[in-house]
Amino acid sequence: MSDTQSTSGAVRLDGKAIAEQVRMELAAEVAEFKAAHPTFRPKLVALQVGERSDSSVYIRQKAKACKEIGVEFEHVQLDEGIQQAELDARVDSINDDPAIHGLLVQLPLPAHLSTRHVVQSIRAEKDVDGFHAENIGWLSKRDGSPYFHPCTPLGCIELLKRYNIAIAGKRAVVIGRSDIVGAPVAMMLTKLDATVTLCHSRTANVEELVRDADILVVAIGQPEFVRADWVKPGAAVVDVGMNAVDDATKKAGFRWVGDVHPGAAAHAGFLTPVPGGVGPMTVAMLLRNVVASAKRHYAAASTVRIVPSVLNLADPVPSDIAIAQAQESALKPIAQLGGELNLAPRELEPHGRHAAKVTLDVLDRLDGMRNGHYVVVTGISPTPLGEGKSTVTVGLAQALYAHLGRAAFACVRQPSQGPTFGIKGGAAGGGYSQVAPMTAMNLHLTGDIHAISAANNLVAAAVDARRFHEATQTDAQLMARLCPPKRGVSQFAAPMLRRLQRLGISKTRPEDLAADEVARFVRLDIDPERIVWRRVLDTNDRFLREITIGEASTERGMSRRTGFDIAVASEIMAVLALTTSLADMRQRLARMVVAMSRAGEPITCDDIGVTGALTVLMKDALSPTLMQTLEGSPVFVHAGPFANIAHGNSSIVADKIALKLVGVPAEPGFVVTEAGFGADIGFEKFVNIKCRASGLVPDVAVIVATVRALKMHGGGPDVVPGKPLADEYTRENLELLERGFANLRRHIENVNKMGLAAIVAINAFATDTQAELELVRTLAREAGAYDAIPTHLWAKGGAGAVELAQAVARCCADKSGAEGFRFLYDDSLSIKEKIETIAKQVYRAASVSYSEEAERKIEQFAANGWSSMPICMAKTQYSFSADPALKGAPEGFDLPIRDIRASLGAGFIYPLCGAMQTLPGLPTRPCFYDIDIDEDTGDIVGLF
């Protein structure tokens, strides 16, 4: 009926008023939810193809309505000629964006596009129009629950409910069977227990059926199709029609009428006006769908699904690789694991079936969300066999996740192929506490270390090439070749403009430079004796430690002595581990110092023009790699600096992403991150370098100890890889154990010195006696440990560390034992003061001595303004001192500093203590003797 006509006794179903009421309710609901959840940001996207004026009007109405209730609205307008594939890609992009909660495509679409295809391409959980086949399908089922009901039918039902019109047990007739209104409203009435008849163009007795209807919904698109005398007295009539009919008396030349004759008002009990009835309700219900979708997405993103994988334990325990291969069929597809963590598909870049890069976009999405608990795993001074720190890191995460039902992430370093094929083996954990697949992790994985090697060696090549070209060309020749004309115009490249700025030259065109400015610009004047950048490779090759390069006749006598480091010792690895974003990584790479000029000026990567290329090589490596443990808990594998010759921790970005992902549940989860080797080096650098750079504060430190290592520190025989252990290590010896406990006591004291509680994880071996384990536990508690707990992670997986996991959870909850996290030294101290603080307070040295070279460099670094950076000590992992043979807890020794380097990109000063090698060598019998491949199955064998 017309809105200008009297309803003559029929109650007016005022859709405009009800819609306004719904909007007010939604605005209050959104505001209340935002107040309780500050990161809640509901968002609707409307996608329009072409520029139809009527479509643009509808979109402006929706944008206005969204703004009124606090929903973000984005209008994506595409060219009318867009092809189907490009439109599909835009829809997929919106589908995959977790910040968008609703997507509607404004209809009609141009004729060359498939409306049905596009509608079905919208993911059902974002289909706020309610048109998707999945939503309609669930609507049709008696016990089905669609994500959304179509908006116009939902508005019809809402009007009936708001006016308290009974539906259950009533006879309802729906005229029109369109997928948008008629069919779904019939299904909705049926589910509300009405007896429904759906009429259409082939229905023979429409008038008869209408006369018997208690509820009548008409959506046929024919002006005044239902005659007034058809309507049953007292019936509720919902007129969905909106038809323009000619009317010369109207200014527009037409008037709006519905599908029901206006005279029906004399018979009906309730009647919607046209316009002002169903129309406003459609937009109101769209808004309701968007808000419901946003809250549903928020609730899902606030829950981490715990889905443990079942371990099939064997006794005796097989080899690591046998365990890994036996469990491989139980591993989750990486997309499933990402879904459990609420990672969006666009945030995952799969590398095969069981690994994926996770983009840093997730940090932007979760910005403002709280962090989970932060647990660092460190250890005592180890034997050459290692004490199972990676095993404890992985097993503790498994225990928290699979046995305590808490969200838990392990963050570990990527293994270098040096130890993998050398002595120590890989770093995926061991036994039933492993990162899987362990073969992928221990070999190439996603190629991050190869990217570092390529980037590092590009810098090395660039340095020597620049030195060569400067020695063989005049200033003019250098200028011509550095800035060659393109289409007759010479230009500076971006890094050249930055170099000019550093030189104080403000000119931006090559031809404007004076002769002296050209000379300053083109000549880095690298001092060959003070080139600090070395080449790297990811292999233990002792014969490349010191080499001579430039021996070919083509280099014209430009030879010099240099050497190789292990790839994970590259400053680029440290940059990767300490960076916080792509922009930050680029800046760090730019300021890496590669050499000094003959005038004593530092020369950086940006000076040689390689910054952009390095960033390109490292772009993919910046994203951490998602993997899983044998029990299905998530793991980030990222970065791999050694702790004895670098800072020894996995990446900041991995820890940050993991902390956000496990921080969303009501009961926050845990991130278990590993610091390399003992607490004197890996943990000290975790605190004073990594936490200083990240701003993160740990909750507790776990110190891994073994009876074997403590006996060695008590004076036991040397532990030599490849040789059987002496009897002292396989038989009970409490006296030897108690003497060696001094090493663990020192590490507990050092952890407490940084203001953290220390929990000792005793990695128990089959040869350890109960008396030995109890002695360590007692002594550790007496020494100030929060707790000390024997674990059996190698043989039992997470089940072997339940008590440890409970202690960690308890400590994180009550914070007892911690006096307040603090750094060991202040940035303002001099380089020597920082070195001596570490040496005397952590190592317990009596003095520090410096070589002439170290003294010279310290003076130079101070003059360059580099004193404020933290210190990264390169020191043996086997002793608190620089002498690996000095076991236990030595005191009163001298710490010799033979050299010192500056890592400006990483952001630390790098003293070398004693005879530290930055490129390990292979032993007499390397691990590679046992590594092979099964030619029939393709399985790797012998990898640990």
Q: What angle do CA 914, 919, 923 make, to 5 degrees?
A: 100
- What three-state secondary structure class fits 701? strand
Cβ contact 174:189 at 8 Å: yes
Contacts of 910 (CB under 8 A, 6+ apart): 872, 874, 900, 901, 902, 903
Cβ contact 636:412 at 8 Å: yes
Contacts of 615 (CB under 8 A, 6+ apart): 582, 585, 586, 589
Indicate which residue of 62, 424, 685, 796 is catalytic: 62
Please name which of 411, 368, 401 lies closest in space to residue 667, comparing C-alpha atoms.
401
Q: Which two tokens stand for residue 628?
A: 């899983």
Residue 581 backbone dihedrals phi, psi, to 5 degrees: -165, 170
Please name which of 184, 164, 159 lies closest in space to residue 284, comparing C-alpha atoms.
159
Positions of E strands within 303-415: 348-350, 356-358, 373-379, 408-412
Please name which of 920, 900, 912 lies closest in space to residue 593, comparing C-alpha atoms.
900
Q: How far apart are CA 625 and CA 218, in angstroms?
A: 57
Cβ contact 415:441 at 8 Å: yes
Q: Is 534 exposed, middle or buried (0-12, 13-18, 19+ CB in 10 A)?
A: buried
- 62 catalytic per annotation: yes
Radius of gyration of the chain (CA): 36
Please name which of 570, 462, 564 lies closest in space to residue 903, comparing C-alpha atoms.
570
Cβ contact 635:411 at 8 Å: yes
Please name which of 435, 917, 796 lies closest in space to residue 636, comparing C-alpha atoms.
435
Query: How many other CB atoms sit within 10 Å of the CB of residue 557?
Result: 8
Which residues on adjacent β-strands are paired with residue 276? none
DSSP 386-415: ---HHHHHHHHHHIIIIIT---EEEEEPPP
Question: Could you say which DSSP state residue 2 is in?
Answer: B
Which active-site residues does the annotation give? Answer: 62
